[in-house]
């Protein structure tokens, strides 16, 4: 009892609380597993197939250069969130980053990535002339600077069931000399057929909003001659007046709705991979999609290593055309850039050079841990490589598609692209589900675009423009070679 009056709370009592606090502080103060050591490079990538190949090969880089690599892959949205919060708070989060073509302008202008021009010029063995110029134009250049280099490049092509078409006596042109109408007619012909103990659905779409449906639809839109803006980016003065509500686009949208009617109803919620995997399941006749699916559809699951039922009966051909319009192929993929706030710019450049080099890209194509799951080359030389052609015989067609590509028309990298894509995707999805008519969709999208562009000071556009053309890029490449 008397101990209470002799109690010295200041020492004992605080000790318990203090111990808890000290414990928390000790745990908190633990150095994160990856404190910046002198020769470790942090690489942050999107988890597309190229990631798995690089992961399998990174030991090679570590041995050759002596630089240790910490590789991390996350989903595209998480990547955006991480990168943005890292740049806004000016805290370096990674040295080499995956930069989507849509963010390139924003990142370069905000100085969140370093222009690669000086590095390329100094380093002749970058071999920049080996790249397909259309890819560099669409994915990696902005306002006359090279911001990133491509590590995986996709075009869009048509995938179909050879066995089904043969059985029905349908001939699919190998040279792209068909129209969208003929394409749809063929799908109509096979829709509902019984084949291989399955009921065939004509085609499949990626209907999920916002990005998947926009990726798929804009290919059709561009091929049919419709455009997003009046003058961007290949114009001396940029004009962001939306041209979404045009007769060409109306035609394209109606055609797209028709395709959805010939697709599984649940594909309105499909993302990129769902659509591809549905084809791989075996009950789809024909569809068009990113060329990564040339190999992805051969497996029954993402990086599962096991063949799908369509692995050996898949035909790959160029997209149909719209009579009277020049063909435009959508280009996409992933590219690597150097984070603006890194302390290790030279090491970062070394990694980028290695990952995008012909030698490494070929090794990635030959990487077999998951069964040859990479053929997204950006370099012309690789398309003539005998070893690669043996494994991926469709490469020549893919090269032609890439060379007809123009990512900057199909999905223009306007500054507020994500916001625009969000609305466009929403309205497209509503149109597919029938909640909105195609006319309303385009009208509303166009007016939304105008509001947003005005609200973000893009209409009228008072900043300096840059006449961004393929020729300008070719000249740039030459100057850096």
**Region 377-416 residues binding other proteins, contact defined as CB under 8 A:** 415-416
CB of 199 to other proteins, least distance (A): 14
433 is a contact residue toward other proteins (CB under 8 A) = yes
Q: Looking at beta carbons only, is 42 or 321 nearer to other proteins? A: 42
Answer whether 231's CB lies under 8 Å from 458's CB: no
Using the rule CB under 8 A, which residue among 65, 145, 246, 430 binds other proteins? 430
Least distance between other proteins and beta carbon 23 (Å)? 4
Near other proteins by CB under 8 A: residue from 96, 426, 441, 442: 426
Out of 39, 59, 66, 77, the residue judged to bind other proteins by CB under 8 A: 77
Provide the token pair at 276: 């591809």
Contacting other proteins within 8-37 (CB under 8 A): 9-10, 12-14, 16-18, 20-21, 23-25, 27-35
Of 175-183, 292-300, 317-325, 473-481, the window that binds other proteins (rule: CB under 8 A) is 292-300
Among residue numbers 295 through 314, which ones bind other proteins (CB under 8 A)?
Answer: 296, 300-304, 306
Calpha distance 422→416 (Å, rounded): 10
CB atoms within 10 A of CB 479: 12
CB atoms within 10 A of CB 349: 23
User: Which CB atom, from 78 or from 481, has the smaller least distance to other proteins?
Assistant: 78
Contact window for other proteins (CB under 8 A) among 42-50, 163-171, 244-252, 397-405: 42-50
> What's the rounded Cα separation, in Å, for the pair 178 and 88?
49
**CB closer to other proteins, 182 vs 274:** 274
Binding to other proteins (CB under 8 A): which residues in 150-179?
A: none
* Subset of residues 94 to 123 that bind other proteins, contact rule: CB under 8 A: 94, 106, 109-112
CB of 342 to other proteins, least distance (A): 13
Q: What does the longest C-alpha to C-alpha distance in the chain come to? A: 103
Q: Identify which of residues 88 and 481 has a Cβ nearer to other proteins in the complex.
A: 88
Using the contact rule CB under 8 A, the part of the chain among 4-12, 320-328, 344-352, 469-477 near other proteins is 4-12
Site for other proteins in 320-339 (CB under 8 A): none
Q: What's the CA angle centered on 237, arms 233 and 243, to 5 degrees?
A: 60
* Binder among 2, 38, 63, 197 for other proteins (CB under 8 A): 2
Name the residue nearer to other proteins (CB basis): 65 or 84. 84
Nearer to other proteins, 452 or 476 (CB): 452
Q: Checking DSSP bridges between strand 96-99 and strand 40-46, what pairing results, if any? A: parallel
Please, which of residues 205-264 interact with other proteins by CB under 8 A? 207-211, 264
């Amino acid at each position: 009892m008397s101990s209470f009056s002799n109690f010295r709370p200041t020492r004992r009592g605080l000790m318990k609380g203090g111990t808890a606090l000290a414990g928390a502080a000790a745990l908190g103060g633990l150095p994160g597993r990856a404190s910046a050591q002198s020769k470790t490079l942090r690489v942050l990538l999107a988890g597309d197939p190229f990631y798995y190949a690089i992961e399998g090969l990174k030991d090679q880089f570590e041995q050759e250069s002596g630089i240790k690599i910490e590789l991390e892959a996350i989903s595209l949205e998480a990547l955006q969130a991480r990168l943005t919060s890292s740049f806004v708070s000016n805290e370096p989060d990674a040295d080499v980053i995956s930069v989507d073509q849509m963010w390139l302008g924003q990142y370069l202008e905000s100085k969140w990535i370093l222009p690669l021009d000086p590095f390329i010029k100094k380093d002749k063995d970058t071999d920049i002339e080996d790249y397909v110029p259309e890819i560099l134009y669409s994915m990696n250049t902005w306002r006359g600077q090279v911001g990133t280099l491509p590590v995986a490049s996709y075009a869009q092509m048509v995938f179909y069931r050879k066995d089904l078409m043969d059985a029905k006596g349908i001939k699919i042109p190998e040279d792209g000399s068909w129209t969208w109408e003929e394409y749809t007619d063929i799908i109509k012909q096979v829709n509902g057929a019984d084949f291989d103990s399955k009921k065939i659905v004509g085609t499949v779409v990626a209907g999920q909003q916002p990005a998947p449906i926009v990726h798929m639809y804009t290919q059709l839109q561009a091929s049919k001659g419709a455009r997003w803006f009046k003058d961007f980016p290949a114009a001396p003065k940029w004009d962001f007046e939306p041209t979404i509500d045009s007769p060409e686009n109306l035609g394209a949208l109606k055609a797209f709705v028709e395709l959805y009617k010939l697709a599984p109803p649940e594909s309105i919620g499909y993302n990129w991979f769902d659509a591809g995997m549905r084809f791989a399941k075996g009950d789809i006749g024909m569809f068009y999609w990113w060329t990564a699916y040339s190999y992805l559809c051969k497996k029954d699951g993402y990086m599962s290593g096991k063949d799908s039922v369509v692995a050996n009966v898949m035909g790959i051909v160029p997209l149909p055309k719209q009579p009277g319009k020049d063909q435009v192929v959508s280009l996409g993929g992933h590219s690597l850039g150097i984070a603006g706030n890194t302390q290790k710019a030279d090491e970062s450049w070394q990694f980028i050079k290695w990952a995008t080099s012909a030698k490494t890209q070929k090794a990635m194509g030959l990487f077999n841990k998951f069964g040859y799951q990479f053929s997204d080359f950006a370099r012309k030389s690789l398309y003539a490589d005998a070893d690669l052609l043996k494994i991926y015989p469709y490469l020549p067609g893919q090269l032609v598609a890439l060379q007809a590509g123009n990512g900057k028309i199909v999905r223009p990298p306007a500054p507020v692209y994500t916001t625009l894509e969000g609305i466009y995707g929403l309205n497209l999805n509503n149109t597919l589900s029938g909640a909105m008519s195609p006319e309303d969709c385009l009208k509303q999208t166009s007016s939304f675009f105008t509001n947003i562009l005005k609200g973000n000071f893009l209409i009228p556009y008072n900043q300096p423009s840059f006449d961004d053309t393929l020729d300008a890029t070719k000249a740039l490449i030459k100057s850096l070679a």
